[in-house]
Chain A
Amino acid sequence: MPDVLVLVDHDGEHVYKSTYELLAAARRLGDPAAVVVGTPGTAGRFKESLARHGATSVYAAESGEAGEFLATPTVDALELAVRDASPAAVLVCATTDGREAAGRLAARLDAGLLIDAVDLDSSGVVTQIVFGGSYTVRSEVTHGTPVLALRPGAVEPEEHPVTAVERTLALPSVDPAASARITARRTGLAGDRPALNEATVVVSGGRGVGGAQGFEVVEELADALGGAVGASRAAVDAGYYPHQFQVGQTGKSVSPQLYIALGISGAIQHLAGMQTSKTIVAVNKDPEAPIFGLADCGVVGDLFAVAPQLTEGVAARRAVR
């Protein structure tokens, strides 16, 4: 079986769940080979959990400066791994960093690139949902080593214990004239909440939330459900919530199991980022709000009455379990 490279998404301490999803998808095409880019020692820490999810080899691409420059160390590592393994495909997670690394790698390989896949079959055909959910498109790469970016949450992670061989890749030193240096980093403002594009539940607030303080109601419901908080652009523009949580055409695209829209009218640009969610619940006081046209459960009412009651009920339910 050919190798299938998987770029490991991690924060230095933990492997993100999306990596295990990629490993599960990779097994459909061949033997998953995980590529870890990080400071020395990172791959060693991750090896066991990667092997538990089916990685038959783990490439360690480690250097002191790997985390100090944007994009290029990752692309260098993937390129080296491709040269070494001649894989059937390269899988990355369709996060901002992942898309960019995938694009740059495809340019180096002059290879076909498919981004934002929601599924992948054993013949390498990828499913994408385009135009804000209006088309399902199945595509394949016809030139070069396929570089595929999968949406987090698209594939179920699976345990599949194997023994992993560790291999080393010697990262070239970074050319500071061709790479941007990361001089400071502030982790996501999400705190303990799951990342928007990884969460199984997303609770979003819109202009109807009325202010930054009103977002407490949104956060409390998200926390009761163990979900992430999102916002409409109107809420972001009004300064109620930071931009990185914007859901929609020019924000994040999410497809959680449950999406709850509080005080969001349902403009086409917002729907573009969430209408592939499995279940959609909307609370809006305007019975004519377009969001009701696609909500599986629509509540006509004041979010400040409905959401706290829901939060309370969910918390009570969690407490008895």
Chain B
Amino acid sequence: MNIVVLVKQVPDTGAERTLSQTDHTLDREDADLVLDEINERAAEAALILKETTDAHITVVSMGPDSAREAIRKVLAMGADRGIHICDDRLRGADVLTTAKVLAAAVRTVEDVDLVLAGNTTTDGQASAVPAIVAELLGLPQLTHVRQLTVDAGQVSAERETDNGEATLQAPLPALVSITEKINEPRYPSFKGIMAAKKKPVHTPDLDDLFPDADDSGLLVTRTRVVEAVPRPPRAAGIRITDDGSAGRHLVEYLIARKLV
């Protein structure tokens, strides 16, 4: 079985994030970058499948040079090889271009059975990338799943969203995005970290991924930021220390603000 895992490097969520003054893209230089936590679980889901089937795992990431660290981490966890799409032209890529680049990279892997991704990343991407990749590759989309079974050419999954839960079923090849509740990712072992150094990471040329792109080049974004303004931090309001009547004070507070 051939599995592709899509991963992304994101600014550490604890760190403050800023938008670049010049082009309103995320100032990645300023932030501590880490492998997105949910993506780590997508990698874990692939590794669990590898334990019971004969699977080959390719990790794909689009991002600046530093994204190689994210790929190395998944290789250290046990994936077999990496594909890193790194091109300055992709700076500021919109959701659609991101998905197109990822889909093009997946197409370079032969006979893919399963594409795995995180359902969202912690850096505010729209949680639409996996669905768009499925669209572009013509694969069934099994997204936001907290449980996954792959058996006899079929994948079944438990989807969990704001609309409730659903059981999904599709034939392979398919795309699956997982939620943070699916598993606990393993830590890379020392042996794994050493082995990862020898695993191949392919860096395809963007022009080779899009041979048909016309002279005007790849469309990087279809939207434009008109204005970006930092929001003033919320200020603390009133403070009550409970002396046995705080609940009643709160009722009055809510009534005064017409909230009840």
Chain A positions within 8 Å of B, measured between CB atoms, are 70-72, 75, 95-97, 99-104, 106-108, 110-116, 125, 129-144, 149, 176-189, 195-197, 201, 225, 236, 243-244, 249-250, 252, 257-258, 268-269, 272, 275, 279-281, 283, 287, 292-302, 305-314, 317-318
Contact = CB atoms under 8 A, between A and B. Distances in A.
Contacts of B221: 112, 142
What DSSP secondary structure best describes chain B's contact surface? mixed
Contacts of A314: 251, 254, 260
Interface stretch (B49-57, B104-112, B167-175): B167-175
B95 interface: yes
A201 B259 contact: yes
Given A70-B168, A112-B94, A275-B234, A103 B129 contact: yes
Contact of A136 (B128, B141, B223, B228): B228
A151 B143 CA distance: 20
Contact of B257 (A177, A182, A279): A279
B122 A250 contact: yes
B138 interface: yes
Contact of A179 (B170, B227, B239, B245): B170
Contact of A197 (B37, B162, B259): B162
Contacts of A280: 234
Interface stretch (B12-20, B76-84, B204-212): B12-20
Contacts of A180: 140-142, 157, 168-170, 174
A113 B223 contact: yes
Interface residues of B, number: 88
Given A113-B95, A250-B180, 15 more contacts: A70-B141, A70-B159, A95-B161, A99-B127, A103-B131, A104-B131, A130-B124, A131-B124, A136-B228, A142-B224, A195-B162, A281-B250, A299-B241, A301-B241, A305-B244
A295 B248 contact: no
B179 A136 contact: no
Given A95-B163, A140-B224, A300 B126 contact: no
Nearest to A201: B259
Contacts of B162: 95-96, 188, 195-197, 244, 252
B247 A107 contact: no
Contacts of B37: 250
B135 interface: yes
Contacts of A306: 242, 246-247, 250
Contacts of A292: 236, 239
Contacts, number: 285
Contacts of B127: 96, 99-100
B1 interface: no
Closest 4 interchain pairs by CB?
Answer: A309-B247, A301-B242, A103-B128, A313-B251
A250 B120 contact: yes
B80 to A, nearest CB: 27
Given A102-B128, A143-B219, A180-B170, A96 B233 contact: no
27 contacts: A70-B159, A100-B143, A106-B95, A115-B126, A137-B228, A139-B224, A142-B222, A142-B224, A177-B171, A178-B139, A180-B157, A180-B169, A180-B170, A185-B166, A186-B166, A187-B164, A225-B260, A243-B180, A244-B161, A249-B13, A279-B257, A292-B239, A297-B237, A297-B238, A299-B250, A301-B246, A310-B247
Contacts of A258: 254, 259
Contact of A176 (B167, B171, B223, B253): B171
A32 to B, nearest CB: 23
A71 B131 contact: yes
A97 B161 contact: yes
A294 B246 contact: no
B230 interface: yes
Nearest to B258: A257
Nearest to A178: B138
A143 B143 CA distance: 27
